[in-house]
Amino acid sequence: MLRVALGRIAALIPLLIVASFAAFLLLQLTSTDPATVRLGDTATDEAYAAFRHDIGVDRPVLVQYGSWLAGAVRGDLGVSWTSSTPVTELLATRLPVTLSITVGALVVGLVIGIPAGIAAGIRAGRSTDSLMTGGASLGQAVPSFWLALMLVAYVAMKTPLFPATGYVSIGDGGVGDWLRSIALPSFALGAAAAGAFARQTRAGYVRVLHEPYIRTAVAGGLDRRRILWRTALRNAAVPVVTTVAGQAAVLVGGAVIIEQVFALPGLGQLVLNAIRNGDMPIVLGFVAMMALLMALIQFLLDLAYALVDPRVRAA
Amino acid sequence: MRSSVVVKIAWAVLAVVLFLAVFGPWITPYDPTKGSIGSALASPGADHWLGTDYLGRDTLSRLIDGARVSTIAGLEATVVAVVIGGGLGMTIGLFGGWPDRIMMRIVEGISAIPAIVLAIAIIAALGTGLSRSMFAVGIAFAMSMARLARGLTMSERERLYVDGARVVGAGRRRLLWRHIAPNIAAPMGVEATLIFAHAVAIEAALSFLGLGTQPPAASWGVMLSSAQRTIRQDPFQAIPPGVALVLTILALNIVGDALVRRRRGVGLDNPTGYLEPVGVTPAPPASAATDGGTEPGEASLLDARGITVRYGDAVAVNGVDLQLNHGEVLALVGESGSGKTSVAMALADLLTLPASSAADRIRLGGDVPLDLVGADRATRAAWRSRVGVVFQEPSAALNPLQTVGRQLRDVIVAQRELADKGRTGRDPAGRLPIDDEIIALLGSVGLRNPEDVARLRPGQISGGMAQRVMIALALAKSPSLLIADEPTTALDVTVQAEIIALLRRLCDEREFGVLLVTHDLGVAGELADRVVVMLRGDVVESGSIEDVVRDPQHAYTSALVSAVPRNEPGRAILAEPETAAEVEALELVEEQGEPIR
């Protein structure tokens, strides 16, 4: 198990370096000049040059990336061009919001999607299956931010149960208020994931039921319930675990959009403002953090995968 | 059938969107970008069918205009993804080597960034707007397209005909375009459909955020953004663009899925796999008189008459009779496709859709005789607990994620529950503790360290050990009939001999009858007392093993006899082919392909 973990970490490090370097190069393409972002249009050329020298953008690109990377491994992602606040600090204050609704959406997706997929998979070809599969397709086709708008218009404004806007942290309002503030965003974001999980789970079951060892189990006299829940479930779960990583990427991206509907002060709001202001260090830090987050999720899933499928451990 | 209707509706929806995208400017009732504040937020009515937005612009006109934006957006992103991703993937897939390794590292690295985050970063660098944002989305999806195209190109490259073309002297570029591109176009086309759907959704999302299409131009995302401003006063304005988005994306996904299904040829003629065996129905009276002349005697263990198995309309087994006595080994011999495994699975009550089977009579003798034809669930469960099955390919027939001991335990527990319900006619008294029974079973099939084997998973043991475990699983039911379906085929020769020795020992030790299904008359000669030869669903010959081997009556049997290798130990029973009829029969076998491995 430890070997699996160390091996995965070793593979993720070059991945993160490539991702951050690609993002770094990409943002070099911008025509935005940090000096005008900070000093406006009216400063002297000397002042502009001095500022550029101060933040180091007059150095060669590779040197700039090297010093950015050297800072990044220590958790220092540079400073914002507009406010001189450390980017890490800006991201850190916003991350809990985005993470809350992403994890919330993942929970919604798994809690709805997996049972629905099992229900469809064990009754494949029947009406339950058609209903579930149709529902899953619809769930995947509904844009999350539109579902969010609908929830605001027809749920939040009709009942006082869920707030239409704003975020309450656990520290400020306790677990109850926190949950209420992320419930609708999580549901809006998680509906599509539920559809994806349901389809994966169903496909997993249908595939596993065609494996010869199911016939062995039937021949052994195991009853239907035991075959479905013991023999088939674990085998069917393997591809679902791999889907979670892909879905997590979609959900984190979607969270950025959903935040706009519910006016949540998350990373989405931060990065949209940064784009409007041409504040590239924030954008770069955001991309790098997302890549790190994805790598972390991938890492945890690889471990989960090794737990579900012992063949991976042995390999 | 119903799903094909859904697919047609989906195509129709896409046709409507395309029509509106092309002819929108001529059919919009109002200018989609101009409105009068006086008629702001009008409700749907005769003047404005879908009402107006907060600037008094006609929602229907903007909706129609949005179809054009969505179509352009989807097209642009898809073209960028296909051209850049597909081109890159095909190139590195064709060349391989270090350019491939380096490019794949880069593609994987960029893929570590979620697509929409990457698109946002590209927009931050290049600026906002419809075409720039869709270029960004296209780049984000180009990564998955590159992986797909690379994989497809590599597997196409390996194909023989591409090598043939290279020998002929086709240059790499010609190779790429003439041979590989057409063959990978279809799967990439399917992927492109799905990218199109994603692109339409992301265009709306980016425009909603203000990063894509810029107001006052109409896009469904921009419309939702302006609807959000007035969501408290007029929530209806958010509905038309949302429904348009859902319908378009749903239609694209349905069409994409249908294309995937068509490519993979996935049929749902058996959605529940091996889970629900179909059972054996009584044969219609007309087919009862199929007996080919041999008079079946009284059989003490198994008496099966007129077994017919169909797969859909195709007849795999055409009225086969089998009789088997206690302590007897009957070999059912034939090439693949002869229907022998179908007979075995029908007798084990393990046939599943699309198979169906009928018979005049299938009876298991003993203290409590059982009839399988037309039996109810309880009787079928009892039948299965008295019929042990050793499946072919033991490594596939064992659950890869459970230990050997766990799988044996499940069977033992299930059988004890059935016995407790009085279904198996077996006495619950005198049971060993389950752990001891597992060890005893594994020991009885000749596994040397049963305690250790019980803790291993099928992937950790050899094929020969897996087959022994398979036999132990069959024995866990204390069967009175053991069906062994090609028990040695997946094993190499020395292990085959061991398994044959094991089966022979078990036949001597236990009172059960054995139905041995094999394509190998040599294996049959080792074990069987009697042999039944099948060809294309019919029994062509049967009799004692010595008689059939020494003096085959049917040309096909002669061919099988002469096809057995003679220099293996224990096969002295089989003689060299001598007569002209046997040589002729050998040719018959060759014409039919390779029935004998």
Q: How many residues does chain A have?
A: 315
What's residue B170's pLDDT?
Answer: 64
The beta-carbon neighbor of A30 closest among B124, B242, B348 is B124
- Residues B369 and B343 sit within 8 Å (Cβ to Cβ): no
CB contact under 8 A, B205 and A143: yes
- Give the integer Cα–Cα distance in Å for B275 and B71: 45
Q: Which residue of B has its CA nearest to A152?
A: B231
- Give the integer Cα–Cα distance in Å for B48 and A114: 44
Identify all chain A residues contacting B388, using CB atoms and an 8 Å cutoff: 219
Q: Which residue of A has its CA nearest to B232?
A: A153
Q: Which residue of A has its CA nearest to B108?
A: A15
Q: Which residue of A has its CA nearest to B392?
A: A212
Identify all chain B residues contacting A214, using CB atoms and an 8 Å cutoff: 273-275
Write down the ipTM of this complex.
0.87
Nearest C-alpha neighbor of B254 from the set B341, B194, B202: B194
Label residue A315 by pLDDT band (50, 70, 90). Answer: very low
Q: Which residue of B has its CA nearest to A298?
A: B112
CB contact under 8 A, B271 and A206: yes
CB contact under 8 A, A143 and B242: yes
Backbone angles phi, psi at A82, to 5 degrees: -80, -35
Nearest C-alpha neighbor of B117 from the set A22, A12, A143: A22
What is the H or E stretch that residue B526 is in? helix B521-527
Number of Cβ atoms within 10 Å of the Cβ of B6: 16
- Residues B487 and B308 sit within 8 Å (Cβ to Cβ): no
Identify all chain A residues contacting B415, using CB atoms and an 8 Å cutoff: 220-221
List b or e across B265-280, with b for residues whose CB sees 16 or more CB atoms inside 10 angstroms. eeeeebbbbbbebbbb
The counts of H helices and E strands in chain B are 23, 12
Identify all chain A residues contacting B120, using CB atoms and an 8 Å cutoff: 256, 271, 275, 283
CB contacts < 8 A, A to B, total: 249
CB contact under 8 A, B273 and A206: yes
- Residues B345 and B384 sit within 8 Å (Cβ to Cβ): no
- Residues B308 and B496 sit within 8 Å (Cβ to Cβ): no
CB contact under 8 A, B113 and A23: yes
CB contact under 8 A, B275 and A150: no
Number of Cβ atoms within 10 Å of the Cβ of B206: 26
Backbone angles phi, psi at B572, to 5 degrees: -60, -20
Number of Cβ atoms within 10 Å of the Cβ of A191: 24
What's residue B83's pLDDT?
Answer: 93
Identify all chain B residues contacting A208, using CB atoms and an 8 Å cutoff: 273
Number of Cβ atoms within 10 Å of the Cβ of B440: 13
What's residue B285's pLDDT?
Answer: 66
> Could you say which DSSP state residue B42 is in?
P
List b or e across B107-118, with b for residues whose CB sees 16 or more CB atoms inside 10 angstroms. bbbbbbbbbbbb
What's residue B119's pLDDT?
Answer: 86
Question: pLDDT per residue over A191-239, tens digit each?
Answer: 989 998 888 888 888 888 888 888 888 888 888 888 888 888 888 887 7
- Give the integer Cα–Cα distance in Å for A253 and A264: 14
Nearest C-alpha neighbor of A286 from the set B231, B583, B117: B117
Q: At A80, is the secondary structure helix, strand, or coil?
A: coil
Label residue A188 by pLDDT band (50, 70, 90). Answer: very high
Q: What is the pTM of this model?
A: 0.79
Helical H segments across chain A, by residue range: 2-28, 34-39, 45-55, 61-72, 87-121, 127-141, 144-151, 170-209, 212-219, 224-226, 233-262, 267-277, 280-308, 310-314
What's residue B275's pLDDT?
Answer: 79
The beta-carbon neighbor of B108 closest among A15, A254, A287 is A15
Minimal Cα–Cα distance from A81 to chain B, Å?
A: 14
> Could you say which DSSP state residue B178 is in?
I
Burial of B49 (0-12, 13-18, 19+ CB in 10 A): middle
Minimal Cα–Cα distance from B38 to chain A, Å?
A: 24
**Does residue A92 carry a pLDDT above 60?**
yes
CB contact under 8 A, A152 and B231: yes
Walk along chain B (597 residues) and give the pLDDT tens digit of each residue: 467 788 899 999 999 989 988 887 888 777 777 777 777 777 787 777 777 777 778 888 888 888 888 888 889 999 999 999 998 998 888 877 888 888 888 888 888 888 888 888 888 888 888 888 888 889 889 988 998 888 888 877 776 565 666 666 666 667 667 777 777 888 888 888 888 988 888 888 888 888 888 877 888 888 888 888 887 888 888 888 999 999 999 998 888 888 877 766 555 567 777 877 887 888 776 544 444 444 455 567 888 888 888 887 787 888 888 888 877 888 888 877 788 888 888 888 888 887 888 888 888 877 777 777 777 888 888 888 888 888 888 888 888 888 888 888 888 888 888 877 765 556 666 677 888 888 888 887 778 888 888 888 888 888 888 888 888 888 888 788 888 888 777 777 777 777 787 777 777 777 788 888 888 777 777 777 888 888 887 877 777 777 777 777 777 777 777 777 655 444 444 444 444 554 455 454 444 444 333
- Residues B595 and B519 sit within 8 Å (Cβ to Cβ): yes
CB contact under 8 A, A137 and B250: yes
Backbone angles phi, psi at A96, to 5 degrees: -55, -35
What's residue B578's pLDDT?
Answer: 45
Identify all chain A residues contacting B270, using CB atoms and an 8 Å cutoff: 210
Structural tokens at position B373 = 């034809």
Structural tokens at position A108 = 């919604």
Minimal Cα–Cα distance from A125 to chain B, Å?
A: 6
Identify all chain B residues contacting A286, using CB atoms and an 8 Å cutoff: 117, 121
The beta-carbon neighbor of A231 closest among B109, B123, B399 is B399
What's residue B344's pLDDT?
Answer: 83
Minimal Cα–Cα distance from B415 to chain A, Å?
A: 6
CB contact under 8 A, A275 and B124: yes
- Give the integer Cα–Cα distance in Å for B204 and B245: 8
Structural tokens at position A48 = 């502009």
CB contact under 8 A, A18 and B238: no
Identify all chain B residues contacting A105, using CB atoms and an 8 Å cutoff: none
Cis peptide before B354 (omega within 30 of 0): yes
What's residue B573's pLDDT?
Answer: 45
What lies within 8 Å, CB to CB, of B192 at 6+ separation is: B78, B81, B82, B145
The beta-carbon neighbor of B272 closest among A30, A124, A252 is A124
Identify all chain A residues contacting B108, using CB atoms and an 8 Å cutoff: 15, 18
CB contact under 8 A, B274 and A210: yes
Identify all chain B residues contacting A222, using CB atoms and an 8 Å cutoff: 410-411, 414
The beta-carbon neighbor of B411 closest among A124, A221, A268 is A221
Nearest C-alpha neighbor of B322 from the set B313, B339, B337, B311: B339
Sign of torsion over alpha carbons B537, B538, B542, B547: negative
Cis peptide before B29 (omega within 30 of 0): no
Helical H segments across B36-176, by residue range: 59-80, 87-95, 97-111, 115-126, 130-158, 160-168, 172-174
Residue pointed to by tokens 């022994």: B468
